């Protein structure tokens, strides 16, 4: 009961403000963590939840130059509070996105695909034919990694938890372009060697689980390879065998999209370059929105509950 649906006055439009009608906003794990207070970003309370979404510009203040009514916008940073029907925001808190992409793609663009894009680009220089291994491959980031890698000719080894509807999940990830899908248990099996007959061992491992899953991922990393941790869904530390450090000189790095945005707030070129690349992939049908369940804002309780269920393969999206 941390949540209430409230009617508020829409604030007056300042000179540099933009009045936005929100269209759709997803519920991400980090949104829940922020509400529980277990995330490094804390909004002053009372606060509006939601860090991601897409809206349409209704009206702009006289000094706003880059946006006009009818434009689509997404948050430039975390903490915007997207679970609302309308909002008035300073222009610099918004990024324009093309309105010729599907609304669900735009609504889920600013967090997961951006994270996937950066972790694939910023840590190892991967070339077509190289491979990447990742856990939680059916997460929002995981699905984006599969598709972005596929578009660049990079092979993916995708680790998922065993579950009742595993064949269905395998089918879905294969359709997105996953090259290999294995369960956590299979990471220890000799059959893993068969995978590396057709593709090289990965130079990059992407971890958003932690605990035992991470240790198993590292086992398959190439010498001098990099493991990037961008989440910790198992809420357990990353355990690294000493041998991996000494004999294989693996690198362990971390990534947080919020931090990247902070560091690149003055570097509009890399932000625009990333957004253009992602929108281009979306237009070409090479990057799709994750599997979504759409709910009206009134059903926010059901949406929040569903988003916290284990093995939830569908992202809850509030239609505003």
**The CATH fold of domain 17-108+289-319:** Quinone Oxidoreductase; Chain A, domain 1 (3.90.180)
Asked if 131 and 152 count as a contact pair (C-beta separation under 8 A), the reply is no
pLDDT tens, the chain, 320 aa long: 578 888 888 889 999 999 999 999 999 888 888 877 777 777 777 789 999 999 999 999 999 999 999 999 999 988 899 999 999 999 999 999 999 999 999 999 999 999 999 999 999 999 999 999 999 999 999 999 999 999 999 999 999 999 988 999 999 999 999 999 999 999 999 989 999 999 999 999 999 998 888 999 999 999 999 999 999 888 899 989 899 999 999 999 999 999 999 999 899 899 999 999 999 999 999 999 988 899 998 898 889 888 888 777 788 999 98
How far is it, in rounded angstroms, from Cα 99 to Cα 116?
22
What predicted TM-score, i.e. pTM, was given to this entire model? Answer: 0.92
Asked if 154 and 178 count as a contact pair (C-beta separation under 8 A), the reply is no
- Active-site residue among 14, 33, 39, 277? 39
Residue 148 CA: distances (Å) to CA of 19, 101, 106, 178: 33, 17, 16, 11
**Highest CATH level, class, for 111-257:** alpha beta
Region(s) of the chain under CATH 3.40.50.720: 111-257
Give start and end residues of each alpha helix (H) in 152-296.
166-176, 192-198, 212-218, 242-246, 257-263, 268-283
Q: Is 39 a known active-site residue? A: yes
Give the tokens for residue 79. Answer: 């903490």
Q: Which residue has the tokens 């996953």?
A: 178
Region(s) of the chain under CATH 3.90.180.10: 17-108+289-319
* Listed residue (290, 287, 257, 282) closest to 271, CA to CA: 257
SS3 state of residue 16: coil
């Amino acid at each position: 009961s941390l949540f209430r649906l409230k009617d508020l006055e829409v604030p007056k439009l300042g000179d540099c403000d933009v009045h936005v009608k929100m269209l759709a906003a997803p519920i991400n794990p980090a949104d829940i963590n922020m509400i529980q207070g277990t995330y490094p970003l804390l909004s002053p309370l009372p606060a509006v939840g939601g860090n991601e979404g897409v809206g349409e510009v209704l009206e702009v203040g006289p000094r706003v130059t880059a946006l006009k009514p009818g434009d689509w916008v997404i948050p430039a940073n975390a903490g915007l509070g997207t679970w609302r029907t309308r909002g008035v925001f300073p222009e610099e808190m918004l990024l324009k996105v093309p309105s010729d992409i599907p609304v669900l793609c735009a609504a889920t663009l600013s967090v997961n695909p951006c994270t996937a894009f950066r972790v694939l680009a910023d840590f190892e220089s991967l070339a077509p034919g190289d491979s990447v291994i990742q856990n939680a491959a059916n997460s929002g980031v995981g699905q984006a990694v599969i598709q972005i890698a596929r578009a660049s000719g990079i092979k993916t080894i995708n680790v998922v938890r065993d579950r009742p509807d595993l064949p269905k999940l395998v089918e879905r990830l294969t359709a997105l372009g996953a090259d290999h899908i294995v369960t956590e248990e299979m990471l220890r099996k000799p059959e893993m060697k068969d995978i590396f007959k057709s593709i090289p061992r990965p130079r990059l491992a992407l971890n958003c689980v932690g605990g035992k899953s991470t240790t198993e991922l590292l086992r398959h990393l190439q010498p001098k390879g990099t493991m990037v941790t961008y989440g910790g869904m198992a809420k357990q530390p990353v355990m690294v065998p000493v041998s991996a450090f000494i004999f294989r000189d693996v690198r362990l790095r971390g990534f947080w999209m919020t931090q990247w945005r902070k560091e690149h707030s003055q570097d509009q070129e890399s932000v625009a370059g990333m957004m253009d690349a992602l929108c281009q992939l979306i237009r070409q049908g090479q990057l799709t929105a994750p599997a979504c369940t759409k709910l009206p804002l009134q059903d926010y309780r059901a949406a929040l509950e569903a988003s916290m269920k284990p093995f939830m393969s569908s992202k809850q999206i509030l239609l505003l």
